Amino acid sequence: MGAGAQIYHIYNYAATNSFSPVVGDCLTVGAAGGYLQGGGYSMLTPVYGLAADNALEFEVVTADGRIRVANEAQNSDLFWALRGGGAGSWGIVTSATIRVHPPVAIGVSELSVVPSASQNVTTLGIEFISFLAKYQDGWMNKGIATSFVLFQGEYLLSFYWLDSTANLSELYPFFEELKDRSSSYTVTSNTTLTFPTISAAILQHLGPSIDKTTPYGASYQQNSRLVPKSSIDPSNPSSITAVSEAIWKGLQIVNQPLGSGGGLFGNVPVIVVGSFPAATSHLVNTTGANPGLYTAAWHVFYTASWTLGIDATTNAKVMTAIHNAVSPLTALDIKSSYQNEGDPFEADWQEAFFGYKYAELSSIKLKYDPQNCELILGLL
């Protein structure tokens, strides 16, 4: 993949040449850039691992001006760092070679759920997150990726699977229990789709859907936490409740300044993604990617956008709210964050974005860029 190749280029090429790549869902993201170098997850990740797990080689211009090839046989330390250890830190990547997989059909199930207007919205929201948590690890172990867009008054649920590893029936227990909760929650839409390839699923459905809801040109900030599987283990319901309460509290924090005012888009959801390595979690130390990506059940992130018309005071309140939205999860000692969708003002960024790998990554940085030139270039 050339440095300029965007994700839609890769999926189009994959469609023509009949293979399945592990790249992302946002069509205009650079495939070989921050996505891959920050770890990278996709709906294929529960089965095939992170994008970083599937990287085989990089060509990179390091700070000394040398063009280096990095793979397991040469410059292997640089290769390890480039596989998820942070974008823009190691040099200018001019190309990347990735492992690809056979073509496979993709199943999709999408639901819209509305909580009862006659009951407490906070109670129902927390209970619904706990309800989802109970099933999450089982879904990922069966190769099912999930995405939950949780507004205070509506929950949008999406499930994705490879037809070679799972099918719709894997969701039946969840559907049955949801039906049993009909006094509290109403399913307002329920759609099942099948696509012949991952390229078709992304190019025809998921990618355009993301594009429609992305406020291109607006100011934008986000913050995130990687919730480990151990924190929502079904055998520990008190932990599940605490995590669910923290997620909902974060949603309330981020929405507090968004209710009115020029330049704002109104209340936002919390987005909870479950697309993490299940079959390949044992590869955690073979890449420089955040170890939290390998133990995560959920990527919880908060985001808000604003545009012309917002005043300086409101702008500051919005940015502070996004920064503080993860505080309830941090209080539970959930501190890991996905750097590609993290807070640029993260206080303990070394721990949040890199975990125990930071020291090794720092030493590799010193070896290949002792003057920290890449950081300076990145700031210009």
Assess whether 319 and 374 both reside in one domain: no
What is the residue-averaged pLDDT of the chain?
A: 94
CB 85 within 8 A of CB 37: yes
CA 129/CA 123 separation, integer angstroms: 10
Place 214 in a pLDDT band, splitting at 50, 70 and 90: confident
Both 145 and 167 in one domain: the answer is yes
Q: Is the pLDDT of residue 380 over 80?
A: no
Q: What are phi and psi of 115, to 5 degrees?
A: -75, 155
Judge if 28 and 169 occupy the same domain.
no
Note the residue count of the chain.
Answer: 380
Tell whether 151 and 297 lie within a shared domain. Answer: yes
Q: What percentage of the chain has pLDDT greater than the value 70?
A: 97
Rounded to an integer, what distance in angstroms lies between the CA atom of residue 289 and that of residue 291? 6
DSSP helix/strand/coil, 45: helix
Cα separation, 71 vs 60, in Å, equals: 11
Give me the number of domains the chain comprises. 2
Q: Does residue 241 form part of some domain?
A: yes
Which ranges constitute the DSSP H helices of the chain?
7-17, 36-37, 45-48, 76-82, 121-141, 172-180, 198-201, 207-213, 237-255, 292-295, 312-324, 327-330, 349-354, 358-368, 373-379
Asked if 159 and 274 count as a contact pair (C-beta separation under 8 A), the reply is: no
- pLDDT of 227 strictly over 90: yes
List, in order, residues 6 or more apart from 359 with CB less than 8 Å away: none
27-55 pLDDT, tens per residue?
Answer: 999 999 999 999 999 999 999 999 999 99
Residue 2 lies in a domain: no
Is residue 1 one of the residues assigned to a domain?
A: no
Q: Is the domain of 139 the same as that of 249?
A: yes
Q: Is residue 209 part of a domain?
A: yes
Residue 183 lies in a domain: yes
Q: Are residues 119 and 82 in the same domain?
A: no
Two tokens at 93? 């990547």
267-279 pLDDT per residue, tens: 899 999 999 999 9
pLDDT tens for residues 272-329? 999 999 999 999 999 999 999 999 999 999 998 888 788 888 889 999 999 999 999 9
> Is the domain of 147 the same as that of 263?
yes
> In this structure, are 209 and 80 located in the same domain?
no
Model confidence pLDDT, tens digit, residues 228-258: 999 999 999 999 999 999 999 999 999 998 8
CATH number at residue 15: 3.30.465.10
Q: Do 37 and 138 belong to one domain?
A: no
For 185, what's the count of Cα atoms within 13 Å in the CB-facing half-sphere? 25
Residues 156 and 269 in one domain: yes
User: Please, are residues 113 and 186 in contact by the beta-carbon 8 Å criterion?
Assistant: yes
Q: Check pLDDT > 80 for residue 215.
A: no
pLDDT attached to residue 379: 35
Domain region containing 203: 106-355
How far is residue 38's CA from residue 354's CA, in Å, rounded to a whole number? 10
Chain centroid to CA 173: 26
What's the pLDDT score for residue 378? 42
**Is the domain of 114 the same as that of 216?**
yes
Euclidean distance between CA atoms 146 and 275, whole angstroms: 6
CA 353/CA 128 separation, integer angstroms: 29
Task: Report if residue 269 sits inside a domain.
Answer: yes
- Non-local CB neighbours of 45 within 8 Å, separated by 6+ positions: 22, 51, 145, 275, 276, 277
Cα–Cα distance measured from residue 1 to residue 227, given in angstroms and rounded to the nearest whole number:
31
pLDDT above 90: percentage of residues in the chain = 84
pTM: 0.95
- pLDDT score, position 260: 60
The CATH number of the domain holding residue 237 is 3.40.462.20
On whether both 159 and 64 belong to a single domain, the answer is no
Are residues 318 and 303 in contact, defined by beta-carbon separation less than 8 angstroms?
A: no
